[in-house]
Amino acid sequence: MRSPSRTVILIVWHNLSTHPQGVFMANLEKLLHELTKLVESLKLTIGDSHAIKQEIIRLNFIQEKLRNLKSAIAEELAVAKINSSVGSAAAGSTENSLLSSDSCFVAPLLTTGEKFIAEKFGTGANKLSFNDLEAKISRWLEWGELLQTISEDILSNAQFINQLSSNINYPSLSSQFQKLEAKLQIDLAYGKSRVLQQQHQQIVNSQEELLQLQQKSTEVFENIKNTQNILLILLNLSAFCGNSGLELEWFDDEYGFIISSGGNCQALADIIYECELFQEKIHNLIVDTKILLEQAEIALNNLPKHPTIAGLKQLIADNRTQKFFAVGVSVLVLGFSTWTATNYIMHIQQEQKLKQEKTSVSNLKSAQKLGMEAAVLVQKTPLPLKDWQQAQDKWQQAVKLLESSPQGTSVSNKVQTQLATYRGNYTTISKRVNLEKNAASKLETADKLAQEAAFIIKNAPKEAVIMTQAKEKLQEAINLLKAIPEGTFVSPQVQEKLATYQQNYQEIKGE
């Protein structure tokens, strides 16, 4: 896919070259191509003091080139207007549409992430004339000045620049989380003492790192949400992005600051929302790690304890007389046999307990995952009925998993707490599903009644008794629409149809 800015230039120049005055304005081709490269690079890459100094130099150069291009384009337009042979047409061209957002070149750009960059070049507008282009160059110049001011403010604060340099030399918080998550994918080696001890220590170390990551991420996200200071926002974003890179791309009137990192371009508000989900993921992993640690400790405490040769010798040496030596040995052998049988039974019981533990933990994790998916699914309303039903299914699956979890495990209390919450969520969302179903059903019935009324009105004589039926059907349709609560997915359609049906009813009533 072409870059957004090159797409803009391609469309603008296509219109120029096909315009009757395309030859006269050929000099603009070179100017527009040069403008493309400049605007593409009109962003601030966050780095150490040396990198910021280089950014200031680069931005100064871009600003100067933009001013020159603005003047050059203005001169071309002035010449076009003055030229006697094409004066009127050229003057009109400044008002003509040179770029349409409906173009097949522009439409693919309006996707998540890329749409922000597209807005930077103005492809979101319905029309783009040369006068529009001049205005946009002025906007780009203002943006460049802001970036220079931000760069200079960064350099003027030694403590700030030191912290910034430290942040960008560490992995991003997301990559740190992924690394810890991978380290905690452990299948406990039940019955293997040495391996189990190593796994236990690995879990302990990872738990400590995870708690530190949670504290760090909490500080970062709270600072981002609770400040309007762009320098503090960039400082905390640098801690979040780490060595993945951080660039300040643009300021959009609707979305605010546009940030890019690791090839992903997002509005600051969307980053904050993702941070909240990230915090939830950390919390869930901490809970899972605690459960895993408890399992490891149970497994270590229940390892079989076989008697050693030295222990047997000590037992024999403790017999005070040779007279009872034979009896003592017999008792010892019998006792050892009894111990072996008892230990075997305990081992089987322990295996069963560990199996139940593993099932309970697995069910809890799966249920939490389903719960998270359901919660994310219904974040933004209104939603179509199928989305509500999908979330309802996920809550239902989560409840069934928790209900089937064995009792008496280390996570039983957590399961019961989560089960109560998920049952409540399932009940709430089931009510919403029924509400949406009823709303859709009433709307469908009202449509049918209105269609029947319309047929009668069109085909029956005005004086016919059947016209009363048409009024009754319309009145019933209106009553159904009024009974649909606001806030449902079909509400916009309801309001539109209600106005139409009421107007039709008044017309029939008037006749």
* 25: helix, strand or coil: coil
3-state secondary structure (DSSP) of residue 1:
coil
The pLDDT tens digits of the residues spanning 135-177 come to 788 888 888 898 988 889 888 888 888 988 888 888 989 899 9
The order of strands in the sheet holding 247-252 is 44-45, 247-252, 256-261, 264-267
390-423 pLDDT tens trace: 888 988 998 988 888 888 888 888 888 888 888 8
Read off the pLDDT of each residue in 379-392 and give the average, rounded to a whole number. 83
What is the pLDDT averaged over residues 270-280? 84
Residues 480-491 have a mean pLDDT of: 86
- Residue 83's contacts (CB-CB under 8 Å, 6 or more residues apart) are 24, 90
Q: CA 427 to CA 433: how far, in whole Å?
A: 10
Lowest mean pLDDT among 23-37, 62-76, 239-253, 353-367: 23-37
- Please give the residue that has the higher pLDDT: either 256 or 62: 62
pLDDT at 510: 62
Domain borders along the chain are 4-156, 170-299, 347-511
CB 148 within 8 A of CB 59: yes
Residue 266 phi/psi, 5-degree rounding, is -140, 155
| Tokens (6 digits) for 186 | 């452990």
* Nearest-angstrom CA–CA distance, 467 and 509: 10
- For residues 153 and 155, what is the distance between their CA atoms, to the nearest angstrom? 5
Angle at 447 between CA 445 and CA 452, to 5 degrees: 95
Q: Supply the pLDDT for residue 53.
A: 92
Please determine, for residue 105, whether its predicted confidence score (pLDDT) is greater than 70.
no
Q: Which of 113-122, 171-180, 191-200 has the lowest mean pLDDT?
A: 113-122
Residue 80: its pLDDT value, please? 61
Q: Count CB atoms within 10 A of the CB of residue 446.
A: 25
Residue 139, number of CB atoms within 10 A of its CB:
12
Query: Is the bond into 382 cis (omega within 30 degrees of 0)?
Result: yes
Q: What is the pLDDT of residue 322?
A: 45
Confidence at residue 29, expressed as pLDDT on a 0 to 100 scale: 65
Confidence band for 366, pLDDT divided at 50, 70 and 90:
confident
Task: For 306-337, write each residue's pLDDT tens digit.
Answer: 555 555 455 555 544 444 444 444 544 445 44
Residue 113 one-letter amino acid: G
Strands 256-261 and 264-267: antiparallel
- What is the per-residue pLDDT for 13? 39
* Residue 353 in this model has a pLDDT that exceeds 80: no
The per-residue pLDDT of the chain, averaged, comes to 75
pLDDT in tens, 202-246: 999 999 999 999 999 899 888 888 887 888 888 889 888 988 888
Pairing of strands 256-261, 44-45: unpaired
Contact 258, 251 (CB under 8 A): yes
Q: How far apart are CA 308 and CA 340, in angstroms?
A: 13
Q: Is the model more confident about 143 or about 470?
A: 143
Which pair of structure tokens corresponds to residue 106?
Answer: 């522009």
Residue 393 three-state SS: helix
**CB burial string 196-229: b at 16+ within 10 A, e below:** beebbeebeebbeebeebbebbeebbebbeeeee
Whether the model clears a pTM of 0.85, i.e. scores above it, the answer is no
Mean pLDDT is lowest, of 36-50, 55-69, 454-468, for 454-468
User: Residue 50's CB: how many other CB atoms inside 10 A?
Assistant: 9
pLDDT at residue 17 greater than cutoff 50 = no
**At which residue do the structure tokens 């089960």 appear?**
419
3-state secondary structure (DSSP) of residue 345: helix
Q: Strand, coil or helix: what is 44?
A: strand
Collapsing DSSP states into helix, strand and coil, what is residue 222?
helix
With contact defined as beta carbons under 8 Å apart, do 142 and 70 qualify? no
Over the Cα atoms of the chain, what is R_g? 36
Q: How far lies 306's CA from each of 185, 309, 314, in Å?
A: 31, 10, 15
Beta-ladder partners of 267: 258
Kindly give the interhelix angle for 412-459 and 325-377, rounded to the nearest 10 degrees.
Answer: 30
Q: Which residues of 306-327 are buried (b: 16+ CB within 10 A; e: fewer)?
A: eeeeeeeeebeeeeeeeeeeee
Assign 355 a pLDDT band (cuts: 50, 70, 90): confident
Cβ-proximal residues to 231 (8 Å cutoff; 6+ apart), any chain: 150, 153, 154, 157, 160
* Reported confidence tier of residue 300, pLDDT bands at 50, 70, 90: confident
- Check whether 27 has a pLDDT greater than 80: no
Quickly state the pLDDT bin for 261 (edges 50, 70, 90): confident
Q: What is the DSSP string of 227-281?
A: ---HHHHHHHHHHHHGGG--EEEEEETTTEEEEEETTEEEEHHHHHHHHHHHHHH
